[in-house]
Structure 1
Amino acid sequence: MADLRFSDSVYVARDPDSVYVLVSDVTRMGEWSPVCRACWWDDPDMGPVVGAWFTGRNETADRVWETRSQVVAADGREFAWEVNGGWVRWGFTVAPEADGTRLTEHWQLLPPGVAGFHERYGADADAEIAERTAAAHTGIPATLAAIKRTAEAGQDDVAGPTESG
């Protein structure tokens, strides 16, 4: 079976607080991820705090699906969430580096997820897990590169782009 965790990082020429604000705004994930097309807070009044829930809409060439996730870390240094009641943990960490930030994105398929894949897919579970793992290995670097471009262009307003462009 494939390694069930992966992370990658990138240097961002912005301060850690600004980068954290950017990555903890899940409503912007659709701008950066090659799979996630949109996210929204289930309770818009909560925002990026531990315990908050959000829904994500994902698309690949083969399927479209939505997931519910709960924020499990939100301390200004790490922003992380668990998908599907603890199947998968995704998140970001920020750390000062030189005049900017080391941004790391991490992914881990948790034991309930492994069990869930085996229950859902039976004999095809390992192939399904390998497919998700490969998606993390290609998606994380792409997502980090897109966040870096946004952050360094100064496009970090939490409201997102304006209607005029």
Structure 2
Amino acid sequence: MTESLTFADSIRIDADPATVYATVADVTRTGEWSPICRECWWDEGDSPHVGAWFTGRNVTADREWQTRSQVVVADEGRAFGWSVGPGRVHWTYSVEEAAGGTLLTESWEFLPEGQEFFVEKYGDHAAEEIAERTSAARTGIPETLRAIKKVIEQH
């Protein structure tokens, strides 16, 4: 497997870009909107800047696990992203002004290194595990964006 698998979707939010950015860059709030990630916490003293580390606790119907991630993009008011593993999966929120509000785009990229990790971990079942993660991103991203919109617009 040599190609990244990607997916992205967008939503318009009735709030300014600074507010939207501050919300999505606060990984400690992820549990408020993610269908899988129940909570995240920064390493001691870390905050949303490039190079910062955090841990996420994920839960699905059949398992629970933690991931370690490193912030790879922290362009205040524009984009915030992190690498799980790192180097296995990239998640990014892009923020841009749009029609008196903000267009928030969430993107997912399952990198070749991550896919190779799945081959090592799952062997003959790697393709179905990769397909399951791809499906989860395709359904989870729109769900997450709708939840972020609701959280921000209610405040």
Q: Confirm or deny a common fold (TM above 0.5).
A: yes
Q: Once the 2 structures are TM-superposed, how far is the Cα of residue 123 of structure 1 from its aligned partner?
A: 1.2
What does residue range 42-81 of structure 1 map to in structure 2 within 5 Å?
42-43=43-44, 45-76=45-76, 77-81=78-82
- CA offsets 1:63-98 (integer angstroms, 9 cap, x no match): 000000000000121100000121000110000001
RMSD of Structure 2 on Structure 1 (CA): 1.4
How far the C-alpha of 1:46 sits from its partner, in A, is 2.1
Three-state SS of the structure 1 residue aligned to 2:90 is strand
Segments of 4+ moved more than 6 angstroms:
none
Instruction: Compute the displacement of 1:35 (Å).
Output: 0.3
TM-score by length of 1: 0.90
How far, CA to CA, are the matches of 1:133 and 1:66 in structure 2? 19
Instruction: Assess, with a 3 A threshold, how the Cα gap between structure 1 residues 41 and 71 changes in structure 2: closer, same or farther.
Output: same
SS of the equivalent of 2:39 reads strand
Q: State the 1:111 CA deviation.
A: 1.1
SS of equivalent to 1:23 = helix
CA distance in 1, matches of 2:8, 2:61: 24
| Structure 1 unaligned blocks of 5 or more | 155-165
Which ranges of structure 2 fall in alignment gaps of 5 or more residues?
Answer: none
On the 8 A contact 2:4/2:110 being kept in 1, the answer is: no
In 2, the alpha carbon distance for the partners of 1:35 and 1:107 equals 14
1:119 positional shift: 1.0
Identity of aligned residues (%): 58
